[in-house]
Structure 1
């Protein structure tokens, strides 16, 4: 009788005093060279005490897993090495040899602060996280995550939601956008967001129709009357205004405006409403 059971995946633990991003990246950079691997990579972050070290080592022992680690705190790194020896758990030290060289051969002294690189480069990481968020929330995707947005844009098709959300995300703002389509109710989550963070994009009828014709031409499509007919488009705009009014959203007129101008107007409202709490991000340059 043929055995169809899958072999259990090997497990590899990434132990870190911080978030474990560096160790995880190093491991995955190597594993990608072995596309047939069945290795399960598990991050154990924020290991900053002897108790946490013992827990991690015992967990690895139980799972018969290899530990890789990026412990920058020398005392905790030595404690981890000791615990691995005592429990006969195999380990690979990503940081120790280089740290020993810097300290013993060059004479440098470590400040032993986990997560320091990310803290110093927080603005860069915030920007990357914001861009990823904007991409994952584009055009109404993942409405359950709207609660995590710092800014939500909503409006009809071709009102500029996507380019505006991506532009602001490059300055560290987590921006979601929700399309409004006449006859289709927007996600209920839109009305659960703090309305002070939601901005309805208003746009002139003639300008919007011209933008839609331009888009169809760029895509190589013929005319689509339901998409470009002025009466239909006017109905869409009236529907969008009803949604803006229902939610109590701030309306921003984006007709023929540069992205920078609209972005600064929106971020200005956020600053006024939430003060210094929101000044952790950059503000786009004035146009």
Structure 2
């Protein structure tokens, strides 16, 4: 399969563009795509420099640009080079313009305005990074969600993804030889979620991790019987404490996070309902 160069140009941070490109590429399994990311393109001079790179690596161009002059210049360059160009938000904006009966505000990065939600998300990210891998257990009561699971069960990447969605997350490794702090079992505010995975899949992930670190891939860390007992120990802990469990064996980080968010929304609804009932 030939390699495709995909150029992503935005006059803002490009977060939206990256997510759209990732979602679209997920439909093409095995495709060899080289992504080139060009954020904060806000002048014609900057665009002209980038076009030299695009001309050297021709491919498909995705863009989100609200400045009419910069957009027109980009379109002209791509026509000259014979490159396909896709304004990824145009259809959505046109539909909303028609439905709302008003013109869109042409301001780069408008969707990323530094409002209260933005600062809450930054706060969540700081909290989550500071409470990774069992650190800072004294503050777990301040978390929205606490993830528990054996080593390499996707706790950290799932925590970071949830933090980017605005949730304060702590995570704790479940280790047979080192029980978690008692505070974990008395938490009131956060939802505790157990992450589990198939032992054979876990062995494969751990072995790949050791190889990436140039370490011997045959240790107790990847012993199949030992790993199976670890997973069983963790699942028993989850059941004993009535914590909901997410099996991440065949789930992507995004899918696992969506399931956790659904659990959290239900948990919060029940808690708020109980609080209202108590005040009646």
The one-character-per-residue Cα deviations of 1:170-209 (angstroms, maximum 9, x if unpaired) are: 0110010010011211111111113971100010011100
Bigger radius of gyration among the two? 1
Quick one: which of 120, 141, 144 aligns to 2:135?
141
Alignment match, 1:183: 177
Alignment match, 1:219: 213
Quick one: which of 220, 224, 240 aligns to 1:230?
224
Alignment match, 2:156: 162
- Unpaired runs of 5+ residues, structure 2, are 1-112, 273-280
The one-character-per-residue Cα deviations of 1:54-98 (angstroms, maximum 9, x if unpaired) are: xxxxxxxxxxxxxxxxxxxxxxxxxxxxxxxxxxxxxxxxxxxxx
The one-character-per-residue Cα deviations of 1:134-176 (angstroms, maximum 9, x if unpaired) are: 1110000011111111001000000000000001000110010
TM-score, normalized by length of structure 2? 0.54
The one-character-per-residue Cα deviations of 1:77-124 (angstroms, maximum 9, x if unpaired) are: xxxxxxxxxxxxxxxxxxxxxxxxxxxxxxxxxxxxxxxxxx971111
TM-score, normalized by length of structure 1? 0.53
Alignment match, 1:94: none
* Distance (Å, rounded) in 2 between the aligned partners of 1:258 and 1:227: 23
Instruction: Return structure 1 stretches of 4+ with deviation > 2 angstroms.
Output: 275-278
Q: 1:183 to 1:276 in 2, by over 3 A?
A: closer
- Unpaired runs of 5+ residues, structure 1, are 1-118, 279-287
SS at match of 1:200: strand
Alignment match, 2:253: 259
